[in-house]
Amino acid sequence: MAYVDGFVVPVPKRNLKAYLTMSRKGRKVWLDHGALEYRECAGDDIGAKKGIAAFPRTLKLKPGETVFFSWITYKSKAHRDRVNAKVMKDPRLNSMMDGKGMPFDAKRMVYGGFRVLISE
């Protein structure tokens, strides 16, 4: 059964270029180690709708921030675990893992692993 790691990240617009540079590097590393798909999607229509908890309110977006909804797809949870073990050892990500140069506040990132129940 397919498996997906999902992320929601508030990103200051002034850091957009750095975030995309980091994401492109991450995409290459994850795909090189066997991930099936890596997507980064920038918020476009994220305003509040009546009765719905929208991204800006839920993430407490600050002025000048946008939100990214991202995911990485794998064959299964076991496949995800194998790929991520390799990714975490990959030296290409060392500069991204120190936390100092992050183009967003990692404490506000939302993350989870999901079993795919319905597809296509």
Inside any domain, residue 17: yes
Render pLDDT for 33-52 as a digit per residue (tens, 0 to 9): 999 999 999 998 887 666 56
Render pLDDT for 61-114 as a digit per residue (tens, 0 to 9): 899 999 999 999 999 999 999 999 999 999 998 777 666 778 998 888 999 999
Q: What backbone torsions phi and psi does residue 63 show, to the nearest 5 degrees?
A: -55, 135
pTM above 0.75, yes or no: yes
3-state DSSP call for residue 33? coil
Inside any domain, residue 92: yes
Q: Are strands 3-12 and 37-42 parallel, antiparallel or unpaired?
A: unpaired
Specify whether the CB–CB gap between 47 and 56 falls below 8 A. yes
Task: State the CATH number of the domain containing residue 17.
Answer: 3.30.70.100
Q: What is the pLDDT of residue 65?
A: 92
**Structural domains counted in the chain:** 1
Inside any domain, residue 120: no
Q: What is the pLDDT of residue 102?
A: 85
Task: State which residues form the domain around 21.
Answer: 3-46+53-115
